[in-house]
Structure 1
């Protein structure tokens, strides 16, 4: 026997597949279902609330594809024309029902795959939910591998940048491997970035520890988070750990709000090496920039720039800093020091 939520999803398919129109027979059945139990209305309202919380996931390709597949299936099942439009009051229920399966499909896809390969393309950002309830916010041109098991949540970032809002599970550590180092958390918020041979780990909430070498067993990981051993780096909110070419450069203070501005398509740089700023902006534009000499690469950049606006960034650099530019035949913009 179908559950209440399954019945709601079934009604949504009928409504959405035909733009809110039902036959006279099915319209009466829908009215009867709503009137049979006030809990049916409550179920639809709960789904609406869930969708509002997860609306950042609505445009994910996986959800779009699943919605399309579901609708096509229902259209194939329905062979007759629909005659009875919903009354105004029922349109509200229809809208809520739309949310039921949208959320259900998206959560099913994102939350049942314990092993995933996540990736974003040029200029693309995504927010994804993992099976454990954690969320991954991915910057453009980012690759993250996910492996979830009963004893451990293990991720690896191979390129780009991602922010992790970790669901609290005190007995199942959450690890992110990047650049030969391992970031360990249980319930916290932090980001990891790999750019031009550097690794950046920034903590927004909670606490993480960073270690290098082989992956310890889950029991050791949990003990390290609470009692770091020599050689293990402990980070708290507002701190950033930087590794360059495999060597730790230490812990620095970080502007948490500014460092997460990329999630809104903005980049706030505070004494950012020009080479790093260029690498981050290159994730959002087909018009690539390249820094051609070490002196220019080391220039400290300050300012707020919008993702994808390469020309504006280049103009600002040439006006404020001692650099010049040259355009290659393929459109790439070279940035070099003036002397």
Structure 2
């Protein structure tokens, strides 16, 4: 009897895996009607969406970061809001505020743009720390307090923040503790020459620019997340994730003494949790109900790059956190 129930549960999970994979493939295809050459970025955004983690996007202007996020929102039938951060903003510009009605002698609540399913925080490092903190608190707590009332944020709730790595004048870099709130940091690169020609052909042509249609409901995202939680993770895979994170904290103990003077501090426990969560999503979208070390290794750079702070010595040698993470991945034994 127990064997029959176990077999039935396995069959049900396999069916869910197939269904989730098909739905997310449909999203990719729909976004592909609008975007050119951003398949890798889109895939990583969908992983974060499935793993229920916020995203920090870093790239120079003009790489379609905003278009990618807004098009993704169109395909998901979710509410989308964009916040353009500026130095003169106040926390209420993000979360909302209370407005006094003198005629009725009472306050009413005006909700801010953070009350959306997909929230694009454009150039988050241009806003002062108190404004950044208001958004990041909402990201962590999944709720906003206005006056004496507390409002829960509707699920799915995903913040995708962007920042420009070149222009640093007049900006307020995110502190490490707040960077840790983002599950992943994605670097957006330039298109290939062929893709850039395709963009020119599409945008300069006489025809109408394609529009994405909704192919996935918000409720389906929540169902897909439930399926991701059921993906099996072997203890060896968990240990591998922890070993990678531990190597960022004490590289010498992991046989990487040459990195000891290059790392200011390493990743927190949250990094280990996010590695496993994202690996489960990666396995699910690959059509599997179990994770492998390859899943962890694939998502590790995105999870760790903003959690490893480099020393001045590393900067002098031209070594970035990406270089350090790559060295760790090459050294730590894969089970």
TM bucket (normalised to shorter chain) is under 0.3
> Whose helix proportion is higher, 1 or 2?
2
Structure with the bigger RCO (C-alpha within 8 Å, sep 6+) is: 2
What is the TM-score of this pair, normalised by structure 1? 0.24
TM-score normalised to the size of structure 2?
Answer: 0.24
Larger strand share, 1 or 2: 1
**Rg larger in 1 or in 2?**
1
